[in-house]
């Protein structure tokens, strides 16, 4: 009996149980309508890089400065990812090693803040992220967060209110960029407020990075100090993240008078050896592929179509009588307030799941219900746009969603929609 690893048998025969689960998940993704706004379908090339032998290599350190031998190709692929990321966003510095968005945000705080420092971020219940200061998260425990929200009337960010809070609180960092905010973000306004109060400006563009790369949302560059992005949302890359930043530290004298380091060096030290060990080189290779795709002219058309699709979906949902938080969308996502329909976010999510339309329940601003069964659902168009769907499909899908949420208790109505979904998705093959 040989002890050597089997390098040739494919998973189908090597582990039929896991292989069957992969096949089932592939079919689920293909048959249904994936409308969770943080998800997308990367190209086959991205998935191939992820499944490559770069997985096998240890390379603690950075290109040309490693603690391990044998890194000539790892160096090249990481440098390529760095160069492409910088080019894509016009950034001075890029670190492509963060394992995912949450650890990348931790690295930024670790690089620029001390424990207990004051930070401003949007609360989770109004559209922010857990890592922007929620009390159950490390960010809320280790740093002193002041949380802003949206205006109660417009359900949009009121920049005057943000400025007032910043002046009153005098934070060391101000974060913008969200997970459930359907409107365009005034990154320039945030950077100006940060400059005014002597705070670092940080943007978490995880959700909208693809739109920014594709010129369909204003960019936080070059004026923002430090920008985090996941690579697996609208950027359509592998699960992972990156941190882009200025090279120098404009607030060094105020906050780090003893130090010679710029923001770029602080970030690199915080990611490794501050928080992480060996980089995930298979993910970094896949990031390089995804950034290369995003640099192509066709990516701009793709990004534009994501927004067009979201707007077409908005019109269709409103025609069904659904209320959209803030009255519409400027980006890839929509937040639907179901309160008036007498159905909860959980009931809607479950009914839509039964119709093979995947969304997630979500709080709406000033929600009177709790996060486990909130008043809304959040949906988005990136994944469907990856499949090539356009406004006409969005119009149909909006009608179907309206039918399901209004008939969430009627299995026959849901089954009818499910069968229409199947007919539609059959025409959009993926991962052949």
Ligand X SMILES: *Cc1c(COP(=O)(O)O)cnc(C)c1O
- Please report, as ranges, the residues that interact with ligand X according to CB under 6 A: 38, 100-102, 105, 129, 131, 177-179, 204, 206-207, 230, 241
How many residues in the chain? 432
- Contacts for 372 with CB less than 8 Å, ≥ 6 apart: 346
Least CB distance to ligand X at residue 98 (A)? 9
Q: Which two tokens stand for residue 144?
A: 């002193």
Comparing CB distances to ligand X, the nearer of 230 and 425 is: 230
C-alpha 122/C-alpha 350 separation (Å) is 28
Residue 432: CB minimum distance to ligand X, A: 28
**414 burial level (CB within 10 Å; 0-12, 13-18, 19+):** buried
Element (H, E) at 414: helix 411-425
Helix-helix angle 281-294:72-89, to 10 degrees: 40
**CA separation for the pair 201, 208 (Å, rounded):** 17
Q: How far is the CB of 180 from ligand X (least distance, A)?
A: 9
Q: Is 230 designated active site?
A: yes
- Name the residue nearer to ligand X (CB basis): 50 or 424: 50
Active-site option among 57, 58, 151, 255: 58
The Cα-based distances of 312 to 55, 128, 130, 164 in angstroms read 41, 25, 30, 36
Partner residues linked to 144 by β-bridges: 118
The least CB distance from residue 317 to ligand X, in Å, is 22
21-332-123 Cα angle (round to 5): 90
- Among candidate residues 233, 246, 378, 406, the one labeled active-site is 233
Cα separation, 325 vs 342, in Å, equals: 16
| Other beta carbons less than 10 A from residue 413's beta carbon | 16
Q: Does the annotation count 204 as an active-site position? A: yes
Q: How far is the CB of 34 from ligand X (least distance, A)?
A: 16
Annotated catalytic residue within 57, 86, 188, 239: 239
Give the C-alpha distances (Å, rounded to integers) separating 306 from 16, 35, 313, 317, 395.
37, 12, 11, 16, 14
> Of 60, 75, 367, 396, which one is the catalytic site residue?
60
Using CB positions, name the residue nearest to ligand X.
Answer: 101
Of the pair 121, 262, the CB lying nearest ligand X is at 121
Which is nearer to ligand X, 38 or 385 (by Cβ)?
38
> What pairing do the DSSP bridges indicate for beta strands 333-337 and 376-380?
antiparallel
Distance, CA of 423 to CA of 432 (rounded, Å): 18
The continuous run of DSSP H or E covering 146 comes out as strand 144-148
Would you say 64 or 141 has its CB closer to ligand X? 141
Closer CB to ligand X, residue 142 or residue 255? 142
Q: Give the nearer residue to ligand X in terms of CB position, either 281 or 425.
A: 281
> Residue 202 has what DSSP assignment?
E
To ligand X, the closest distance from the beta carbon of 320 in angstroms equals 27
Specify burial of residue 16 (Cβ count, 10 A radius: 0-12, 13-18, 19+).
exposed
349/334 Cα distance (integer angstroms)? 14
- In the set 224, 230, 231, 425, the catalytic residue is 230
223: burial class by Cβ within 10 Å (0-12, 13-18, 19+)?
Answer: middle
Q: Identify which of residues 94 and 124 has a Cβ nearer to ligand X in the complex.
A: 124
Q: Is 233 a catalytic residue?
A: yes
Residue 207 CB, nearest approach to ligand X (Å): 5
Question: What is the nearest approach in angstroms of ligand X to the Cβ of residue 39?
Answer: 10
Q: What is the largest CA-CA distance in the chain?
A: 73
Interatomic CA distance for residues 357 and 193, integer angstroms: 41
Instruction: Give the catalytic positions in this structure.
Output: 58, 60, 204, 230, 233, 239
């Amino acid at each position: 009996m040989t002890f050597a690893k089997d390098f040739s048998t494919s998973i189908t025969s090597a582990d039929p149980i896991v292989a069957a689960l992969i096949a089932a998940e592939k079919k689920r993704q293909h048959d249904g309508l994936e409308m969770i706004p943080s998800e997308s379908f990367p190209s086959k090339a991205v998935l191939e890089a992820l499944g490559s032998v770069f997985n096998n290599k240890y390379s603690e350190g950075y290109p040309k400065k490693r603690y391990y031998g044998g890194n000539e190709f790892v160096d090249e692929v990481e440098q390529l990812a760095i160069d492409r990321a910088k080019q894509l966003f016009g950034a001075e510095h890029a670190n492509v090693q963060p394992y995912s968005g949450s650890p990348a945000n931790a690295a930024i705080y670790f690089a620029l803040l001390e424990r207990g420092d004051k930070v401003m971020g949007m609360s989770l219940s109004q559209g922010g992220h857990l890592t922007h200061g929620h009390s159950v998260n490390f960010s809320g425990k280790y740093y002193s967060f002041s949380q802003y929200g949206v205006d109660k009337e417009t359900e949009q960010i009121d920049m005057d209110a943000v400025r007032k809070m910043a002046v009153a609180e005098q934070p060391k960092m101000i974060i913008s960029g969200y997970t459930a905010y359907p409107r365009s973000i005034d990154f320039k306004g945030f950077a100006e407020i940060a400059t005014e109060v002597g705070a670092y400006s940080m943007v978490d563009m995880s959700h909208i990075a693809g739109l920014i790369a594709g010129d369909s949302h204003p960019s936080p560059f070059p004026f923002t100090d430090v920008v985090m992005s996941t690579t697996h949302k609208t950027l359509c890359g592998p699960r992972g993240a990156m941190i882009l930043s200025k090279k120098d530290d404009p607030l060094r004298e105020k906050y780090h008078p003893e130090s010679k380091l710029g923001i770029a060096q602080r970030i690199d030290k915080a990611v490794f050896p501050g928080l992480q060990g060996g980089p995930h080189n298979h993910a970094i290779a896949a990031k390089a592929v995804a950034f290369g795709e995003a640099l192509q002219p066709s990516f701009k058309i793709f990004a534009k179509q994501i927004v067009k699709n979201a707007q077409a979906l908005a019109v269709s949902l409103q025609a069904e009588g659904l209320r959209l938080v803030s009255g519409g969308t400027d980006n890839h996502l929509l937040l639907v307030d179901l309160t008036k329909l007498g159905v909860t976010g959980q009931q809607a999510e479950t009914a839509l799941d039964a119709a093979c339309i995947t969304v997630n329940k979500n709080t709406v601003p000033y929600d009177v219900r709790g996060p486990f069964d909130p008043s809304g659902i959040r949906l988005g168009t990136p994944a469907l746009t990856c499949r090539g769907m356009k406004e006409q499909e969005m119009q149909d899908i909006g009608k179907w969603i309206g039918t399901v949420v209004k008939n969430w208790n009627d299995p026959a109505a849901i089954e009818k929609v499910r069968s229409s979904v199947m007919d539609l998705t059959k025409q959009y093959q993926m991962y052949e």
